Structure 1
C-alpha cells in the first residue's frame, strides 16, 4: 500500500510541471488511436476488474496479462495469480481466456483452504455503441467460469464443481483528454453441482482515472461493490499504470475494504503486454 501511495503522490507532483509541454503530444496520440476505421474512443481501462478487450476493439488487437496479488484474510493470507490472453477476431468483438489461481501456503493456520486453479474462464465482449462526438462507448458481454476443485482432490473428486454465469454491461466516457470514467456491472449466478443451489450476486464496479498527458500512464481508483440478499461489500482500489516500453505496461493496485470481517488490505500487480503496439 505504501508503495502505491508514494508512486501516486510522485505522479501527482509531476503532472503540473509536465502538462503544458505534453498536451499537444497527448492530443496527437489520442487522434492516432481514434482516426482509424472503425471509430474507436480512447478510454482508460481499470486494473483489477479489467475489460475483456478495449471498448471499440479493432480486428487483430491482442494482449497478454499476468497478475500477482496477496490478500490478508484475517486468519490466513491468500496469494492469487492469473494468466489471461485477450484478442479481437473481428472489429468491436473481444474474446478472452483466463486461468485464475489461489495459493495458500501449507505453513499457515489450518483454517486456510487448499490451493487450486479456481476456474477456466471464457469471456466475450461486444461494443455496440461508439460515439466520437460524445467520447462515449458502451458494450455488453458474458463471462462463463467452469469452477474447479482443489489440487488435493485431483483424481479423487470431480474436476469441475460448478458454473458461474455472468452477463455484464459497460459504459465509459472520456471528459476532455485526461479524465476517464467507467461503469461495469452485471449479475453473477453461481451454480454449485454438489447441492444444485444457485447463488446470485450483483457486481457494480465504478472507476475514475486521470491519464497523464503525453503518456499511457494514469492514476485512478476503482470501487468494486458486491451485493447479495444478505450483504453488501465494497473494496476501494487506488491504482496507477506506468508504461515500461511501447508494448509493456505495469499496473499497481492496493485494496482497502470498507469492512474487515472477511479481509483486510490487499495488493495486486498486473503486467500487460500488447504485442505489435506502436508508440
Structure 2
C-alpha cells in the first residue's frame, strides 16, 4: 500500500513539473509551442521564434566511409530578428586526416550556408506549428585548390517545409522535408533529390532533456538512402546543452556507423 501511494503521489508532481516548464515557454506572447528540435539536421530557429532569441551551435562528428574516415565540424549562429522569423549562418567542414589511403577526398570548408525560416502557423489549441524556409549554400573547393582553382564550385538551393506537434506534455513529432537542387558551375549540371526527415522524441518531465530518433531519408531518381539516428539532449547549465547522436545507415555500401556531438549555447537564456 505504501509503495502504491508513493507512485500515485509522484504522478501529479510530474504533471505539475511539465505544466510549469511548458508554461514558462508558452505563457509569453506571441504564441509559441514547445517542440523538441532534432539534433543532426536541426531547425533554423525554434518554431514560433520570438524576437531577440539567439543561439550558437558547434558540432563534431565522425563517419566510417568504408575506405576512410570522415570527420565533420560545424559552427553556426542563429537568431530571430523579428517574431516567428529565424535566420542562420553556418560553416560546415569535412576533414580527412593525412596519412589515409588515396581513396580519401581532400579536406575542405564545404560551403557558406545561409538560411531563413518563418513560422506561419502556431496553434495553442492543437499544440501544432508549421513553417516554411529556404537554405542557400555556396559550395567551395578543397583547401589544396585555394589560389589555383575557382573558390566557389556551385550552388545548392533547398526550400523546405516543417510541421511539428506535441502530444500531451512529453511526446513530440516533427516532419522536415523539401527538395535540394545542386547546380555545378563547371558543367552547368543540376542534380535534384528530396530530403524527408521524420522525428520522434520524448522530453523528460520538467526538464529540457529528451531522447528520441531522427530518420534522415534522401530520395533521388534512382536511389533511396536512410540513416537512423538515435539521440539524446542533456542540459548542462541553464544556457548550455549537449546533444549526442549515433548514425546507423540502412545500406552500408558507402558508409557504416557514425557519431555526432552538438554543443548548444543560448546567450541570455534564463531558467
State the TM-score, normalizing by the size of structure 1.
0.93
Name which of 179, 182, 202 aligns with 1:187: 179
Q: Is the 8 A contact 1:18 1:213 kept in 2?
A: no
What residue in structure 2 maps to residue 220 of structure 1?
212
Unaligned runs of 5+ residues in structure 2 are 1-7
Q: Is the 8 A contact 1:254 1:267 kept in 2?
A: yes
Name which of 14, 28, 39 aligns with 1:47: 39
Residues 149-160 of structure 1 aligned to structure 2 (within 5 Å)? 149-160=141-152
Name which of 57, 63, 81 aligns with 1:89: 81
Larger-gyration structure (1/2)? 2
What residue in structure 2 maps to residue 238 of structure 1?
230
Name which of 27, 38, 43 aligns with 1:35: 27
Q: Is the 8 A contact 1:180 1:208 kept in 2?
A: yes
What residue in structure 1 maps to residue 90 of structure 2?
98
What residue in structure 2 maps to residue 112 of structure 1?
104
- Pair 1:197-2:189 in alignment: yes
Superposed displacement of residue 64, structure 1? 0.2
Q: Deviations over 1:208-240 (max 9, x none)?
A: 000000110000000000000010000000000
Q: Deviations over 1:125-150 (max 9, x none)?
A: 00000000000000000000000000
What residue in structure 2 maps to residue 63 of structure 1?
55
Describe the SS at the equivalent of 2:51.
coil
1-structure distance, mates of 2:248, 2:11: 30
What residue in structure 2 maps to residue 178 of structure 1?
170
What residue in structure 2 maps to residue 13 of structure 1?
none
2-structure distance, mates of 1:248, 1:99: 20
Superposed displacement of residue 17, structure 1? 11
Describe the SS at the equivalent of 1:99.
strand
2-structure distance, mates of 1:138, 1:232: 26
Unaligned runs of 5+ residues in structure 1 are 1-15
Describe the SS at the equivalent of 2:20.
helix
What residue in structure 2 maps to residue 127 of structure 1?
119
Rate the CA distance shift 1:193–1:231 in 2: closer, same or farther, 3 A.
Answer: same
State the TM-score, normalizing by the size of structure 2.
0.96
List structure 1 segments (4+ residues) > 2 angstroms apart after TM superposition: 16-23
Q: Deviations over 1:180-228 (max 9, x none)?
A: 0000000000000011000001000000000000110000000000000
Q: Deviations over 1:27-46 (max 9, x none)?
A: 11101111111000000000
Rate the CA distance shift 1:45–1:114 in 2: closer, same or farther, 3 A.
Answer: same
Name which of 154, 157, 166 aligns with 2:158: 166
